[in-house]
Amino acid sequence: MEAKRIKFERTGGFAGIRFAADIELDKAPNDQAKQILDLLNSMDFDKLPEKILGSQQVPDGFTYTITVVTGTGEQTVTTTDMAAPEKMKPLLDLLTQVARQQMTDKK
């Protein structure tokens, strides 16, 4: 997958705090960009359905929206912490960490 940019948003949780990140991979640190691309490729992100929500709604759970922008278009996947495939969890953790860092850098 030739990802150029990742748009990430995490909403919900006990406090309802929104985390968002807009990551341009060619401007991200090389190791971080490589890690993101490796995680996307290992889960075949481009083959995932648009929504992976499961049947249970969990109070105070998180909802994640990941949009991967490539040279030919974009794909968005929305999931929750309960419904996310196991392979996706390291990516969600990493993107949450990047979003926190971007929020700290803006202050």
pLDDT of residue 29: 93
pLDDT of residue 14: 84
pLDDT of residue 107: 63
Per-residue pLDDT of the chain (107 residues; tens, 9 = 90+): 689 999 999 999 888 888 899 999 999 999 999 999 999 999 999 999 999 998 777 778 899 999 999 999 999 999 998 899 999 999 999 999 999 888 888 76
- Judged on CB neighbours under 10 Å (0-12, 13-18, 19+), 95 is buried
Query: What is the domain partition of the chain in residue ranges?
Result: 3-106
Enter the pTM of the model: 0.91
User: Any alpha helices (H) in the chain, and if so which ranges?
Assistant: 30-42, 89-106
Q: Which residue has the tokens 């990140």?
A: 21
pLDDT of residue 54: 82
